[in-house]
Amino acid sequence: MSEDIKICVICEEGATCSKKLLNDPAMLRELLMCCRERVSLGQSDIQQLTDHLSGINELELKSVYYHSVS
């Protein structure tokens, strides 16, 4: 069985020396809330990310990653 490739849900890039990939479902829910608020204020460039995050269920959140600068 092959290992899943981990990429950032925001920029769709992998980990680097200076940016680790993290998975924290609570932080991803917070990100979704912030995205929804910004979209409601007119920031349309994050609509696709907002839609994607909205469609992720609680079980799938365990396999979603984002970058953290170390």
Q: What are the residue ranges spanned by the domains of the chain?
A: 25-62
- Predicted local distance difference test score (pLDDT) of residue 3: 55
* Inter-residue contact 23 to 65 (CB < 8 Å): yes
| Higher-scoring residue by pLDDT: 70, 48 | 48
pTM (global) more than 0.85: no
Measured distance CA(40)–CA(18) in Å, rounded: 32
Q: Beta-carbon neighbour count of residue 30 at 10 Å?
A: 11
Structure confidence by residue, pLDDT tens digits, 6-19:
999 999 999 999 99
Measured distance CA(17)–CA(63) in Å, rounded: 21
Structure confidence by residue, pLDDT tens digits, 25-38:
999 999 999 999 99
Q: Is the pLDDT of residue 66 over 90?
A: yes
* Inter-residue contact 15 to 52 (CB < 8 Å): no
